[in-house]
Chains A and B, each alone.
Chain A
Amino acid sequence: MQKEMAYSFPDEVLKHVFSFIQSDKDRNAVSLVCKSWYEIERWCRRKVFIGNCYAVSPRMVIRRFPEVRSIELKGKPHFADFNLVPDGWGGYVLQWIAEMAGAYPWLGEIRLKRMVVTDESLELIAKSFKNFKVLVLFSCEGFSTDGLAAIAASCKNLRELDLRESEVDDLSGHWLAQFPETCTSLVSLNISCLGSDEVSFSALERLVDRCPNLRSLQLNRAVTLDKIANILRRAPQLVDFGTGNYAAELQPDVFSNLAGAFSSCKELKSLSGFWDVVPAYLPALYSICPRLTSLNLSYATIQSPDLIKLVSHCPRLQRLLVLDYVEDSGLEELASSCKDLQELRVFPSDPFGVEPNVSLTEQGLVAVSLGCPKLQSVLYFCRRMSNAALVTIAQNCPNLTRFRLCIIEPKTPDYLTLEPLDAGFGAIVEHCKDLRRLSLSGLLTDHVFEYIGTYGKKLEMLSVAFAGDSDLGLHHVLSGCESLRKLEIRDCPFGDKALLANAAKLETMRSLWMSSCAVSFGACKLLGQKMPKLNVEVIDETEPPDSRPESYPVDKLYIYRSVAGPRFDMPPFVWSMDEAVKILH
C-alpha cells in the first residue's frame, strides 16, 4: 500500500513539479521514467528545441507536444556560413509555420537559425498567432522588408524582433512605421543587418519613445553618429546597445552631446556596432566603460593604440570581439586590464592578403591565457602558431569550453619547429577537460585525432579542415568522442573505412558533414541502405553521382539522424541515399 502511494501523485502535482524543469535534457529524462510521466510531461512541455529541422516532421512534433508556446529550429549545416552549402539546399520554414498555425494558436516564440524564411512565412506568422511575442531570425535569408512590415503591423504584443546577421531584401525603409502607435511592448530590437536605407529613422525614434521596456537595441549602419544621442536619451534604460555608424567630423558639440547621452545610460552593459569608427569619438564612451561586460568591436577598423586605450577603461569586460588590429600589444593590455574576461574573438582584417598586415601572432593569445584565468571561449584567427604556445595556453586555461583556432594558411606547421601541431592541440584536449567545441587548423596528422579521441570525452562539436593522413584519423574521433554531436570535415583524406566501421555512431550524433574528402558513392549508398534512421544525402552540383563509377568520391556528404525519413524538398543537386527515394527519383 505504501509503495503505491509513492507513485500516485495526482497529475496536477506532477505537472506543477515538471513546470520547474526547463532544460530539454531534463525534460527528456523525465519523459522516459514511465508511461504516465511521459504523458503528463508531453502535455505540459511548452518549449521545443529542434537542432535539425529535418530530424523530425512538424506533424510528429505537434502530435507529441500539443501545447507548445515556443519553438526553436535550426536548418542548414554550419558550413553554410562559409558558402559550402549551395543555395536552394533546403531549410525552408514555411511548412513548419503552416502546420503550427493550425495546431498552436498560442505559439508565442519562434527562433530560427540558418533557415530560409520567405515573406509568405512571415505573413503567415503575423496572421496566425495572436499572442506572438518573440521572433529571432539568426543568419536567415529569403525575406524582405515586406515580410517585416507584416510582423510589425500585426503583432500587437511583440517583445522581441531580432534579425541578427540575416539577409534581408531591402524594398522599403518604412516597415518600421508599421508598428502601431499602440505597440509599447518591445524589449529587444536588432536590425543591425539591414542595409543602408532600410529604416525610417523618425519611425524608429517614435518607437523607442513609446517602449519603456526596451532593453536591447541594435541599430543598422545607416544610423549616423549624430543620431545616436537622440536615441539614447529616449532609452536610458538600455542594457545592450548596438551603434550604427560611429563616424562623423569631429565637432565638440556632437561629442559632448554623445558623451552626455551615454553617461545617462546607467544600465548599459553591452555595446556593439561601431562601423566606420572615428577614434576621436571613442572617449565619449568612457563614462560607461567601467560597467561594460561585453564589447563587440569586430567591425571597428581602429588601430591598436585606440583599442588599447578603450579596453583599459573596461576592467569588468567579460566578452570582447575585435579585429586583429588589436595586435599582440593590445591583447597584452587586455590581459592586464580585464581579469574577468571569459570570451575572446579575434577576427582577421585582411584574411585574403598574402602578407600579414598586422602584428598579431600566437603571443597575443598566450598573453590573454596567462592574464585571464576565467577564459572559457576562444575564436582566434592568426597566421602562425607553435605547439609550445598551444601547450602554454592549455595549461593556463584548463576551463576552456570552446576553442576555435584558425591559422589562415591551410596546413601551416609549427613555425618554430616546422612540425605538425598535433601535440599542441593534444594538450588542449588533454588539459581542458570540459571542452565542448573545437576547431582545428594548421598542419595536422592522424596523431591529433588520436589525442582527440582519447581525451575529448566531452567534445560535442568538432570542425576539421585540411588535416589528417588516413581513415584512422576519422576512426579515432568517431570511436573515441563519446559526446560528439556535430562533426564537420572538409578537405581531409578520410574515406569509406572509418565511416562504415562507425556507422552506428552516426545515429548517436546530430549530423556529419564531409566535403572534398574521399568517401565513395558506393559507401554512401551502403550507409543509406543499412541505416534507415540516417538520412544520407549527397550533394553534387555537377552531375548525378550515379553517372560515375561507385568508387568515385562524392563531392559533399551530409548525414543526419532523422525519425522523419528522407526529405522530399531536395533540390536537383542533392541526392538521398534512401532506397525508397531512389525508386521515386
Chain B
Amino acid sequence: MSKPIEHDYIGLSEQQLPSMEKSSDKKDGLHLKDTELRLGLPGSESPEREDHDQNVLSLKSFVSGAKRGFSDALDGGGNWVFSGGSGGGTEGLFSPRRGGKNNGGKDLSGSDSGSVLKDGAAQKPSVVQEKKLQVAATSSHGNGNIAPASKAQVVGWPPIRSFRKNTMAAHPPKNDDGDGNAEAKLGSGCLYVKVSMDGAPYLRKVDLKIYGSYKELSSALEKMFSCFTIGQCGSHGVSSGDGLTESRLVDLLHGSEYVLTYEDKDGDWMLVGDVPWEMFTDSCKRLRIMKSTEAIGLAPRAMEKCKNRT
C-alpha cells in the first residue's frame, strides 16, 4: 500500500511518525506474543514502549510515598484489570495487605491503570496468587476470586448495554437441558446496584458479582467514596491482614463514621454483613452508606429476619 495520505494539518508533535516500512518490520502478521500462554488477561501485556523509564519513574513515585505506587513494576506482574472501571484502583489508605511478599507497612497498589503503563513483561505464575489476594484492592471492576479456568471480566467488554446486562442477569435464561446450568449462568452475569452515600452529590453503581466477600466489597466502596470523606479517615492500615471476618465490616468504615446498609428484596433496610455473602447478593437491591447515628436499630432486625428465613 502507498504511504499514508497527508492532509493539511496542524502538527503539534515534534517527532516524525514511524514510516510504514518500519512498522511492518517490527511485526510480522502473526503476533506470537499475543498467542503465547500467559496467566494474565488476554491482551494485558502492554505494547512496547519506547521509554523504559516507566519502571524507574514508578519506583521513584513509590519511594517518595506518593499515594499511588506502581508496585507492579516491583512484582513483575502486569496489570490484572484494564483501567476503565469506574471505581479506580487507588490504594491510598485503604489497601489490604498482600500476602507477605511486599514491603511491610507501605501501601502498595496493584495498579489497575491501563496495560500501557507496564512494559511487555510476561506475567509470572506467582502473579495469579497475588492477584487473588490483591483482588480487593483493585477497582470495582476488577475480578473476583476467579479460578484460572474461568473467564476474567474486562470492564465494558463485550460491549453490552447495562440495561441488557441487568435484564439478562436478573432473569437468567432457562435451560432446556435442565442440568442445573442456570445457576452457573446466573453467576456469570453481572448485577449492578446503586450505592448512595449520605452527603455525596451523586450515586455510584457497583457490580456485586465481581466480589466474593464483604471484605472486597467494603474495600472497593471505601475507595470509591474516599474522595467524599477526605479528612475524616484515620489510618486504615489493616493491621491484622488476613482473617477479617464479616462482623468487622463496620470497623472498616468506622474511621469515617459511616455504616454500610442495603435494601433487600422486601424493601427493608438492613446492615450489611449479617447474612452469608451469597444470600446478600441475592437479596440486595441497593446499598447506602449512611451515618452511623442513623443506623441504630438496624442490626437486630437483620438478625431476626435471617432467623425467620432459615
Chain A interfacial positions (CB closer than 8 Å to B): 79, 81-88, 139, 165, 167, 193, 275-276, 298-299, 301, 303, 325, 347-354, 381, 406, 408-411, 413, 418-420, 439, 443, 445-447, 450, 453-454, 463, 465-466, 469-472, 475-476, 479-480, 490-491, 493, 496-498, 500-505, 515-518, 526-527, 530, 540-543, 547-549, 551-553, 555-556, 571-573
Contact = CB atoms under 8 A, between A and B. Distances in A.
B7 A410 contact: no
B5 interface: yes
B9 A503 contact: yes
Nearest to A351: B158
Given A518-B47, A518-B116, A541-B88, A83 B162 contact: yes
B15 interface: yes
Interface in B116-134: 116-117
B301 interface: no
A381 B68 CA distance: 37
Given A411-B34, A504-B10, A552-B57, A82 B51 contact: no
Query: Interface on chain A toward B: helix, strand, loop, or mixed SS?
Result: loop
29 contacts: A82-B157, A83-B141, A86-B86, A299-B167, A325-B173, A349-B168, A351-B160, A352-B153, A410-B42, A454-B1, A472-B4, A479-B6, A491-B43, A491-B82, A491-B114, A498-B17, A500-B11, A501-B12, A501-B17, A503-B12, A505-B9, A516-B114, A542-B88, A547-B67, A547-B68, A549-B57, A553-B116, A555-B114, A556-B83
Contacts of A470: 18, 23, 26, 47
Contact of A472 (B6, B18, B171): B18
Interface stretch (B97-105, B201-209, B235-243, B274-282): B201-209
Contact of B83 (A276, A493, A555): A555
B63 interface: no
B198 to A, nearest CB: 16
A342 B31 CA distance: 36
A238 to B, nearest CB: 23
Contact of A450 (B1, B88, B113, B139): B1
Contacts of A453: 4-5
B185 interface: yes
B89 interface: yes
A22 B173 CA distance: 45
A551 B51 contact: yes
Interface string B55-98: 00100010000111000000000000011111111100000000
Contacts of B51: 551
A298 B141 CA distance: 26
Nearest to A496: B13
A490 B13 contact: no
Contacts of A83: 84-86, 141, 155-156, 162, 205
A276 B167 CA distance: 11
Contacts of A479: 4-7, 9
B37 interface: no
Contacts of A471: 17-18
A87 B192 CA distance: 13
Given A82-B161, A469-B27, A497-B15, A352 B189 contact: yes
A84 B271 CA distance: 30
A82 B156 contact: yes
A556 B68 CA distance: 17
Contacts of A553: 113-114, 116-117
A443 B161 contact: no
Contact of B31 (A88, A443, A555, A556): A443
Nearest to A474: B17
Contacts of B188: 350, 352-353
